[in-house]
């Protein structure tokens, strides 16, 4: 069926105006609702993100505290390892002087008398470690004499103190063995002696002072290269 609007054009426009207003209001309300929903979603999502950021910051703070605690524990471990190493070195390098005296008494020829014995060891702060010079750990000084008037007795004493007469001495280095008297020493002072004239109470005799230099009882300081030098060396190697 055909519908014909018989109203004048002015009334036709007036009649269509409410529909236009309704559609406009509906579209506006819809747009406002969409914007509101989007704003609400953004606000909620922002809150979730801020909460997540706070949780991450709390986690980072907790991990940093654990890392600092772990660093302190590692430093303590390194400190006690150094102490353990120092104790082991002292234990392995200490000289049992009671045993040394027993060995000295056994090795000294019967015609030689030890009149004085002086032992000096250096403290760690007294070590110099100068280039080109042999560092000692101290010294043992023996003042001895003999009535034989033959300096060969002193030569025999030196030989006995430095040599090892055991069967396997020719097969391996016995200088580092704990029961080898000379194992803790570097060497002797030059061989020298003097003649002491006798008197009515004492006969003439030869006297000699023998000095034995101790091996160092501490390690030389470790030289740590600067970081810049290490980087420069690495750069040269890469080229």
Is the residue at 135 inside a domain? yes
Contact assessment for residue 217 and residue 93, using Cβ atoms and an 8 Å cutoff? yes
Tell me: do 103 and 209 sit in the same domain.
Answer: yes
Note whether 22 and 118 are same-domain residues: no
pTM summary value: 0.52
Average pLDDT taken over every residue of the chain? 78
Q: pLDDT tens-digit profile of 161-215?
A: 887 655 444 555 555 565 678 888 888 999 898 988 878 778 889 999 999 999 8
Handedness of CA 73, 75, 79, 82 (dihedral sign): positive
SS3 138: strand
Q: Note whether residue 222 is domain-resident.
A: no
Which pLDDT score, from 0 to 100, does residue 6 have? 55
Which ranges of the chain would DSSP assign to H, the alpha helix?
9-93, 97-107, 152-162, 227-238
Same domain, residue pair 103 and 61: no
Same domain, yes or no, for 113 and 161?
yes
Two structure tokens written together for 36: 């509101």
Question: Does position 29 have pLDDT exceeding 90, yes or no?
Answer: no
Based on the fold, state whether residues 104 and 205 are members of the same structural domain. yes
Greatest alpha-carbon pair distance for the chain in Å reads 172
Share of residues in the chain with pLDDT > 70 (%):
72
CATH number, domain with residue 123: 3.30.70
Residue with tokens 């009671």: 98
For residue 179, the 8-state DSSP code is T
Residue 190 sits in the same domain as residue 119? yes
Q: Based on the domain organization, do 101 and 204 belong to the same domain?
A: yes
Q: Do 101 and 73 share a structural domain?
A: no
In a domain, 234, yes or no: no
Query: What range does the domain containing 162 cover?
Result: 97-214
Domain co-membership, 180 together with 85: no
Do 209 and 101 share a domain, yes or no? Answer: yes
111 & 189 share domain:
yes
In a domain, 183, yes or no: yes
More confident residue, 145 or 30: 145
Q: Do 112 and 166 share a domain, yes or no?
A: yes
- Dist CA 212 CA 142 (whole Å): 8
Residue-wise burial string across 13-36, b where 16 or more C-beta atoms lie within 10 A, e elsewhere: eeeeeeeeeeeeeeeeeeeeeeee
88's tokens:
């082991």
Q: In the listed set 48, 66, 93, which residue is the last one of a domain according to the structure?
A: 93
């Amino acid at each position: 069926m055909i519908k014909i609007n018989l109203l004048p054009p002015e009334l036709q426009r007036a009649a269509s105006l409410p529909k236009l207003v309704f559609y406009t209001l509906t579209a506006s309300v819809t747009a406002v609702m969409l914007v509101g929903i989007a704003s609400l979603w953004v606000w909620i999502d922002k809150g979730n993100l801020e909460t997540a950021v706070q949780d991450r910051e709390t986690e980072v703070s907790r991990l940093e505290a654990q890392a600092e605690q772990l660093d302190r524990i590692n430093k303590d471990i390194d400190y006690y390892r150094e102490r353990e190493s120092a104790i082991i070195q002292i234990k392995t390098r200490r000289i049992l002087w009671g045993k040394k005296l027993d060995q000295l008494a056994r090795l000294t020829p019967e015609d030689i008398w030890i009149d004085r014995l002086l032992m000096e060891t250096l403290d760690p702060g007294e070590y110099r470690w100068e280039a080109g010079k042999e560092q000692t750990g101290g010294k043992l000084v023996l003042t001895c004499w003999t009535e034989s008037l033959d300096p060969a007795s002193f030569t025999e004493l030196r030989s006995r103190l430095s040599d090892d007469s055991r069967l396997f001495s020719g097969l391996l280095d016995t200088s580092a063995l704990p029961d080898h008297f000379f194992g803790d020493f570097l060497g002797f002072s030059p061989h020298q002696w003097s003649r002491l004239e006798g008197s009515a109470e004492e006969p003439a005799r030869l006297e000699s002072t023998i000095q034995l230099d101790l091996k160092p009882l501490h390690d030389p300081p470790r030289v740590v290269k600067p970081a810049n030098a290490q980087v420069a060396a690495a750069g040269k190697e890469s080229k």
